[in-house]
A and B are shown apart, each in its own frame.
Chain A
């Protein structure tokens, strides 16, 4: 799918993606010539169709996780994966200078929100948010950081 500014005959460039959490998605594109911006709005079915392809509009900013699609999309999954326990726990964060996914703190609200993620996929989700924060020098994951990460990383299904 490509977007063309008819006036300028220029390809519109990806600007940002927003995931308000209701299953819809907004992707903003701008014309590099006239600066006109448009938003592509997808309904929940279209959003799921895109995520079902295993792709992220605007490109991936984190590498794929193994079986990311299955683990994030399966509503009836159990505790099959043992990966959560093998990762550093946010509760045991060290005080070193270099932030890692395991060393960032989690606010109480963020932790509560994480509890709503099925255990089946929680370890993977925790790691992704933790890495997102660590890579940006953010030492605490809050619900706001989680929202920003969802939009930035294109975590449509999480």
Chain B
């Protein structure tokens, strides 16, 4: 024990500072936090690449992009995992045909559900009592703002660290809307190998996604690409394309941020119908323009992260 350092200015007692006091008990708490980080790092050490699909804006099609990209990569023989870290709006299980699939706990952790083409999946959707149940946590309603964020960050950490993903070529993380969610995820993850930012041509989406792009740049995420979703509608009769938005916010976004536009996904109502029924459209109709866009995205992603041929 070191000697007291003398009264602090204005203090009645000579109280040592936090860092001057050695306390095995407090260090035990720090060790528990470190152990959590180590478990996550160990789990992800068996994953070739961890790639987040984010936006900053809601309703731009992140989950549909995630589900179709996962299916395309799995169809190429890749071992793919998908974690739906949108705790309050989970949709990935349904889109990958694993809605209400049971989970089991094994020696190595929670066994993920198996979706389309054997994509390994973890989602809050699988844990809720019913398909329309909302996520509510046990705890006092008063002051919920103070503890829910911490708890949900812990829940995301558990999704990633306690799921027995096994050996994966790629783990896709489907993020909820909000730039802050990407920032929180970066605090949890030991590494993020790639980021796909999904936008639409709308100006509202452009502004929100620009903030995420800036965050990614500041965080030093080297591999970041842009997916412009719902860019145009193609007439099935004449093949002519009609823009869905007057402006092309995606183009301006690419110019402003310097992000490469990895794929333009046209609007196709069949995409939503197929994906909602658990059959990613990129697999259902591989020759459709929208499916080709997902293949382009998969090609680009594999090239960027250096996936083996």
**Which residues of A are interface residues toward B (Cβ below 8 A)?**
1-2, 4, 6, 9-11, 13-14, 23, 43-45, 48-49, 51-60, 65-83, 86, 120, 124, 157
Interface-forming stretch among B12-20, B52-60, B216-224, B226-234? B12-20
Interface-forming stretch among B152-160, B202-210, B257-265? B152-160
B129 and A53: CB pair below 8 A? Answer: no
| Interfacial chain B residues near A72, Cβ < 8 Å | 138
A97–B32 CA distance with the chains assembled, in angstroms: 34
B246 contacts the other chain (Cβ, under 8 Å)? no
Which of these, A2, A23, A77, contacts B128 with CB under 8 Å? A77
A69 and B136: CB pair below 8 A? Answer: no
CB closest chain-A residue, reference B113: A80
A13 and B133: CB pair below 8 A? Answer: no
Which of A1, A10, A43, A81 gathers most chain B CB within 10 Å?
A81
A1–B105 CA distance with the chains assembled, in angstroms: 34
Chain B interface size range:
35 or more
* 29 examples of A-B residue contacts, CB within 8 angstroms: A4-B21, A6-B15, A13-B25, A45-B140, A45-B146, A48-B140, A48-B147, A49-B146, A49-B147, A52-B154, A53-B33, A53-B154, A54-B32, A55-B32, A58-B25, A58-B28, A66-B105, A66-B162, A67-B162, A68-B158, A73-B139, A73-B151, A74-B138, A77-B127, A79-B129, A81-B105, A82-B103, A120-B129, A157-B138
Give the Cβ gap from A60 to chain B, nearest Cβ, in Å: 7
| Interfacial chain A residues near B32, Cβ < 8 Å | 54-56, 59-60
Which of these, B110, B130, B140, contacts A23 with CB under 8 Å? B140
A73 and B137: CB pair below 8 A? Answer: yes
A13–B22 CA distance with the chains assembled, in angstroms: 11
| Interfacial chain B residues near A58, Cβ < 8 Å | 25, 28
CB closest chain-A residue, reference B33: A55
Known: A55-B32, A59-B28. A76 touches B135 (CB 8 A): yes
The interface residues of chain B, by DSSP majority, are classed as mixed
Which of A14, A43, A71, A78 gathers most chain B CB within 10 Å?
A78
A51–B104 CA distance with the chains assembled, in angstroms: 24
For window 96-143 of B, CB contacts with A under 8 Å fall at 102-105, 109-110, 126-130, 133-140, 142-143
**Which residues of B are interface residues toward A (Cβ below 8 A)?**
1, 4, 13-16, 18, 21-23, 25-26, 28-29, 32-33, 36, 102-105, 109-110, 126-130, 133-140, 142-144, 146-148, 150-151, 154-155, 157-159, 162-163
A54 and B36: CB pair below 8 A? Answer: yes
B127 and A44: CB pair below 8 A? Answer: no
A11–B105 CA distance with the chains assembled, in angstroms: 41
A51–B33 CA distance with the chains assembled, in angstroms: 12
Which of A43, A74, A75, A81 gathers most chain B CB within 10 Å?
A74
Which of these, B13, B26, B104, B144, contacts A81 with CB under 8 Å? B104
A60–B32 CA distance with the chains assembled, in angstroms: 8
| Interfacial chain A residues near B29, Cβ < 8 Å | 1, 55, 57
A44–B137 CA distance with the chains assembled, in angstroms: 13
| Interfacial chain B residues near A23, Cβ < 8 Å | 139-140
Known: A2-B23, A80-B103, A86-B104. A69 touches B128 (CB 8 A): no
Which of these, A56, A67, A120, contacts B158 with CB under 8 Å? A67
B128 and A66: CB pair below 8 A? Answer: no
A9 and B158: CB pair below 8 A? Answer: no
A67–B103 CA distance with the chains assembled, in angstroms: 12
